[in-house]
Structure 1
């Protein structure tokens, strides 16, 4: 069984680790609730006793006709839930350290043992491999079973439940390995591949080692570099005092690297792993000293100068550096390579925020320049309500950028203004947009050209009272929704995710009104489904996303997934080389579908029948049209036009 949902499992596990590591017990001792459903291979189990135990504490509850149970007043701890019926048993550990758990699924089935044999790349048994396993489909690693392989490379993990098991293997100097396995199918035999490493040195243009350089890698084609919720990101390190580095636990393939050196310009490029040690030379540049001569109109708590670029140079990665001015009101950027840059002064205070931006050209020699673009005008104005009473408020001024390749306004000012009249000195020429606001009043925006012949007067209207956020109010009104998700031949479909969405909202990142999983027999049990009408979306790695409208008042829904249109193809760069990571993005009638690019440069994505367009996600490419019917396969190759 493919494990296309592994990314979802991974970020849930990351969140769980961070939560458990930082959580502290609640102040009250009996304040938590565990609520859920007991399910067997035939469906929810009614009238079954479920016990919750923690150390010497024990509580009992009984399932209702829908298999539902609830424990209230539990201590904020880890609890073990158990149940039995004849030879069938169930066991599940649940943490209620920081919050209640209200969507717990407990599987009832005959005892079983997950058995495995792990070998190394040379075929010899591999000892000490860490094995983690959990029931696949419903928070697979919220309740983890763990073991290590013995000297013979074998392991055994007693488990309950009847669904397939998600398995993760990790061993030093080997690549992690993940799959979904059915224990009843026999011994899980795995051969782990050895991991590779990238080693080398980083020097400046004169051959001197550069310490503390950030070295970041990503698979070729991946839009962004890895991030981490805990600790250093994957595939990242820093050079030591000798300018040397090593990035370990890599898969063979092509990578994009980025060198982040505080006193040098960034360097990026490509590298193939495995390979010889690398020696990367940071580019030589000149010193650019920036004097801050712009006048200050208000108290400044924080002041920075940012240099970003070079821009408008194909194939060169723009880079930003930010420095805090010294006492002499200047900063010096070292090793700046030739090109055009954007220079920005940032001033932050309690009453005012100011951003001044200007373009500069850097040549082959060091330079000293001032950051003080012309601001010859001032503006007088006033802020009052409809009855002429002075208002205390806020004024935001920005200027449209004349350069589409230079995002953000060249001038941006945010200032708190006293009641009544105000003065804004040192404003630039050109079209300015001014927005005035005051608490309890509607904002008002004007576009002006300076100089003005008379003061600018803002008369604000009272804002209507806004009820509490509709999404929050709606979340408080829920219902229990049951039903079934089936394949075309009537079999229950397990391993699918359920998303409750606003009616007609097909956006990829739209609001999720509720989230759940289809139970192992294909049953739906959504305890917190919205009381109002909504769309229920079914996501499964082997079937196209399916939506059904659930009207207000409905308590049950039956959804049958349909054969989808299979999109497949290769993804290459402009030089004909395969991308080894990234995502493809499909849009059909306003709905989004996203799928991964595999290390061999191919993708396969199931979408509903019909027509749409496909392109690369967060990578510049031409959108390609397609169309097809259910069960059909369509080849659509893609080209990445620009990669960083």
Structure 2
């Protein structure tokens, strides 16, 4: 697969993954539940500068913590879809309120409905709850209130509140799923709590559970006392779920004030800040002695952070927690800090009930945000600074700019931020018969005004779901031209390939928008190996170049797409969400995989995928540097690509290490392991202790018995200084070994510039540092078991970057956002209150506080709908010899394939860059030409270096233009310039 083909192919997968990630986020996000936008009326005149008032105080007013307040209760009735009461339904209330500790949010409060469907739940905190119900024979339901854009899927409770009438309607179409929760040894976990869809269950003595959920993709999450949470995805029905839990690691310590007395701080919230993909973000509150205990952690590296109304503390070094390990008691010294408190007020004097407020001090490199709760915003542990404020309130329009908030030596309370109602787009989604279609996701993206590219622009609207009649309302919009899209994320189905264009005029809502879904058919199939054995949980995708869908095969290898627009599709299967395509027997990664099938409207098509066996196994042992067994190592495997384009170590760098969708494999007491269900081919194995120490063996054949030796890890330490003297108050460190893909990061606060990272494996590291005062990069080598100390890094001052964005003809392009990024930094995003990072009519932009050195410059259209220009990402080397840098014009290419159109195919793969290669020296070397492809017919050969496309340079730093220039419709002829001096004409063909 060529670079351009790969980027297009991964898009659907990433969006499917994003859908599953969104499901996981629902598990912890406070107040989720699929609610639509709040109501909106006619837009008033928007102030350029919204008023903000502040009442500074010496010490913040004492506020009783939520978990210490009096409890609330709810009561209501559970009914079936026809309005009849349901007895024996399980009703659970769950919260993910940020101000509560993990132990107060991880377990739901539940009750069982009586004969008349009535239930009552007591002992609830005065926070936001989602209330859901499930019962055999039904899909789960959730409590909702309001209509249209005012629909809400939660209830806000207050202390001592008794909320009545919290009624829930179950849904038809439920299916029963079964599973088991096990520990890493395979033993059952009794009493584990299991969540899927909106349904809870608890495991029995044998670890088994069953529950009723809606049909389709399901994400099952389990937790139990003494363990870190675990999860597994699958299709419901058709998959027997198996969730493995890891013995919990525990972080314990104490928070004290700086100074000789070391006074303990009661009521500080301590967060275990881990790195990487993790939804297991846990916290705890300190007791009267300042002590805390954070349990339920996976093994790994954690940095504790303590926040109080008047203090902020960060651990001096990451704590490395082994499997089932409790840390030594650490002491966090908290420094004086302050409280920011305010209210988000809607037009007419109401309160915002869904949103967030962000605080940014670009000069200090500080950025944080906090959710709005019943209109209130309360941010603890704020350091002195000059903060730019950004407000988001779902369904409302924020002001173009709010007064900055200066924190000097006092807390700041009584702040007030106003948002206006905005305007609305009303509509309905129907099928071919004119019947309304429910539970479709509707979004609106504004197209920038070419005459005023830096004008205030709302973020659009999303998260809106059609009701039972297919109706929707997109609220909180400014007058503009919008692209309104309908999608189905929870259950794949046919949706329009092109958005609906809606012009929202000044002071007037738009009503009666009608979106009609395309006609569709069904596709059924199976994935099996050459012996006819099913490939369970294969991820199956279909794509015709315009429409795509993805699902997961059941345990018997079968899959089903219930609603597919008519057309010719290529159907492929892959290993997991991150894995490559499963191959036909006897083929390679350079061959086109999958089968082509025609789907006709109103008909059922079938397809059979025969792929290489996934029944291989590799066994072995993990040893330490002295030859002894390692009993707590995790083993992961990635099949190595045999593509001619693959670079050395590709599986190491791009492997799915630590995927949270996979069963963990842990060595036994003798350090031994066995990996099963492996696909055909050679594999790269990695053994690691989460948090430190690893071993990698490449090119392992199936059936092998291998030994992996984890060498002793070491510590890297040094100092960060500011040019001219002194040390930054805060800074981040990121280290990466590009040869193996190993990376770690950490944040440091008031350490006098000192930093250290423990348990680093041997390797050659690039060390990147970012602080408000500047950025820097250094290179150093770690030897096994040896400490590397004295790594001194001097920060280079940040710079202001200016320049022009032009098209490939050299004409200025307005309305493009520009940002400058280096490891651990990001500049020029929406935090730029003057929007100078957005190109004006002359294509000019300015990005302040940009990092210097090796950076990546991102240029992308405003909004997230269909755009005339492509997203561009290019490498650059920025000098810090001057405070202002004028860059040469940045070229962006026009999109030649619009939404709803299919791309042509060239049949070229390019050699992937080796680890550590300077991106400014990128070469487009042809590694593979598919026989009979347009490239082969045109005369492109393996080994050719492509230097231009249609006269546009695509070599070195301009290689980023290649994708946009070659993503063209079928039948388009391109001229490739080669390093040899030859020119070759290639006409894009139909995708195979």
TM class, shorter-chain normalised? Answer: 0.5 to 0.7
- The equivalent of 2:265 in structure 1 is 52
Choose which of 495, 516, 524 in structure 2 pairs with 1:281: 516
The range that moved more, 339-348 or 282-291, is: 339-348
Of residues 355, 360, 368, the one that matches 2:596 is 360
Q: Secondary structure of 2:255's match?
A: strand
- Between the aligned partners of 2:372 and 2:431, the Cα distance in structure 1 is 50
Q: Which one of the candidate residues 169, 173, 181 is aligned to 2:405? A: 181
Q: CA deviation at 1:241?
A: 1.1
Pick closer, same or farther for the CA change 1:339–1:626 going to 2, 3 Å.
farther
Native 8 Å contact 1:499 1:537 kept in 2: yes
User: How far 1:184 sits from its partner (Å)?
Assistant: 7.4
**428, 432, 453: which is aligned to 1:205?**
432
How far 1:498 sits from its partner (Å)?
0.9
Which structure 2 segments of 5+ residues have no match? 1-27, 31-95, 106-224, 227-249, 269-285, 295-304, 316-326, 449-459, 585-592, 622-634, 652-664, 666-676, 688-694, 781-786, 840-844, 862-869, 900-992
Q: CA deviation at 1:437?
A: 8.1
Deviations 1:299-340 (A, max 9, x none): 76x4567342112xxxx3x42132657999674643423243
Match of 2:565 in 1: 336
Counterpart residue number, 2:292: 76
Matches of 2:696 and 2:858 in 1, distance apart?
A: 44
Matches within 5 A, 1:156-171: 162-164=384-386
2:310 counterpart SS class: strand
Query: For the structure 1 residues 527 and 267, does the alpha-carbon distance in structure 2 shift closer, same or farther, using more than 3 Å as the test?
Result: same
**Structure 1 residue 632 corresponds to structure 2 residue 884:** yes
Please give the residue correspondences for 1:3-402 in structure 2 after superposition, counting only pairs within 5 Å. 20=100, 22-24=102-104, 32-34=253-255, 37=258, 47=260, 50=263, 52-53=265-266, 74-76=290-292, 91-92=310-311, 102=332, 104-107=334-337, 126=349, 128=351, 162-164=384-386, 174-176=396-398, 180-182=404-406, 192-217=419-444, 235-250=462-477, 257-261=484-488, 262-265=492-495, 267-269=497-499, 271=501, 274=504, 276-277=510-511, 278-290=513-525, 297-298=532-533, 302=536, 306-311=540-545, 316=546, 318-322=547-551, 331=560, 333-344=562-573, 358-362=594-598, 366=603, 368-373=605-610
Encode CA deviations 1:434-484: one digit per residue, 9 max, x unaligned. Answer: 5598999966457xxxxxxxxxx9775x5352225x3xx53xx768x6x76
8 Å Cα contact 2:384-2:407 kept in structure 1: no
Q: Residue 535 of structure 1 contacts residue 547 of structure 1 at CA under 8 Å; is this kept in 2? A: yes
Residue 544 and residue 260 in structure 1: after superposition, are their counterparts in 2 closer, same or farther (change >3 A)?
Answer: same
Q: Distance in 1 between matches of 2:407 and 2:709?
A: 59
- Separation in 2, partners of 1:320, 1:516: 44
Does 1:500 pair with 2:737? no
Contact 1:612 1:625 in 2 (8 A): yes
> Cα–Cα, structure 1 residues 443 and 622, in superposed 2: closer, same or farther, change >3 Å?
closer
Per-residue deviation, 1:103 = 6.2
- 1:568/1:604 contact within 8 Å kept: yes
1:567 aligns with: 802
Q: Distance in 1 between matches of 2:549 and 2:367?
A: 41
* 1:564–1:247 CA distance, 2 compared to 1 (3 A): same
Question: In structure 2, what is the equivalent of residue 224 of structure 1?
Answer: none
Alignment of 1:452-463 (within 5 A): 462-463=706-707
The TM-score with structure 1 as length reference comes to: 0.54
In the aligned structure 2, how far is the partner of 1:516 from the partner of 1:463?
37
Residue aligned with 2:797, SS: coil
CA contact (8 A) 1:214 1:259 kept: yes
SS of equivalent residue, structure 2 residue 544: strand
Cα RMSD over matched residues?
A: 6.8
In 2, are the aligned partners of 1:216 and 1:235 still within 8 Å (CA)? yes
Q: Is the 8 A contact 1:397 1:434 kept in 2?
A: yes
Report deviation, 1:497. 4.8
In the aligned structure 2, how far is the partner of 1:118 from the partner of 1:379?
57
For residues 384-417 of structure 1, what are the alpha-carbon distances to aligned partners after superposition, in whole Å with 9 as ceiling and x for unaligned?
99xxxxxxx999989968999xxx9xxxxxxx9x
What is residue 538 of structure 1 aligned with on the other side? 770
1:466 counterpart residue number: 710
Residues 344 and 372 of structure 2 are in contact (CA less than 8 Å); yes or no, is this contact kept in structure 1? Answer: no
Kindly state the Cα deviation for residue 515 of structure 1 after the two structures are TM-superposed: 0.8
1:156 Cα shift? 13
Q: Give the drift of 1:264.
A: 1.8
Aligned length: 504
Shift of 1:537: 1.8
3-state DSSP class of the match of 1:23?
A: helix
